[in-house]
Amino acid sequence: MSFEGFPDEGLVFYEGLEADNSRTYWTQHRGAYDDAVRAPMQALLDELAAEFGPAKLFRPYRDVRFSHDKTPYKTHQGAVVNPDGRGAGAWYVQISADGLMVGGGCWRLESDQVARYRRAVADDVQGPRLRAEVDRLAGAGWAIDGDRLVRVPSGFGVDDDRADLLRHRSLHASRRWEPADWLHERRALDEVRTCWRELSALNAWLADNVGATTREPRARR
């Protein structure tokens, strides 16, 4: 199946799910999810796989075990490419009633990865490289986000031009588009591909300087 765009029925499906996040609505409209959301998203990922690698398509069900919000279904469909061996630096894409979102970077780092990230940011060679890449992305309209400390961690200079980067415990960039006619066309594939290419340098820096965690996997509760 080739990607031909995200059908409008998929966005309408999510509008309804936001209004009625119930098993009844989901059961009655499951066909719209399968045909107008999951299938085109998988087709998009299949076409991008040769360049970026295989993707993980997230489940539509929320894990409500430890959440105050007990609504059972996610109101978006997301997918991530996490190349084997890189550890940090991933590509992300999401479709919802709000439109299309594309992102890259790292959304969660373990303590050993955070320590390596900070050392690299403080380094006189690697730090300026990240500074330049983050500034380039921000200047091109990307939103730079991530979990941040209120203050620069102890042991690092607060006057450095990388102080804001040192506060990060995770770092990612994203772009969003509201619903538009081109989302229903093959152009959506071109937009995602172009954006993921723009994020390649950020992901490469994270892979080279942060890498995979060496901590034991957390036990599932």
* 219 confidence band (pLDDT: 50, 70, 90): very low
Average pLDDT over residues 4-17: 97
pTM of the model: 0.92
Q: What pLDDT sits at residue 216?
A: 66
pLDDT tens digits along 163-205: 999 999 999 999 999 999 999 999 999 999 999 999 999 999 9
| Helix H or strand E segment including 31 | helix 30-33
Judged on CB neighbours under 10 Å (0-12, 13-18, 19+), 183 is buried
Summary mean pLDDT of the chain? 92
Closest-CA residue to 161 (of 119, 131, 204, 190): 131
Answer with the residue of higher pLDDT: 43 or 66.
Answer: 43
Give the domains, in start order, of the chain with CATH numbers: 8-209 (3.30.930.20)
Task: Work out whether the CA dihedral 93, 184, 189, 177 comes out positive or negative.
Answer: negative
pLDDT tens digits along 44-102: 999 999 999 999 999 999 887 877 888 999 999 999 999 876 678 999 999 999 999 99
In whole angstroms, give the CA distance from residue 74 to residue 14: 9
Q: What pLDDT sits at residue 220?
A: 42
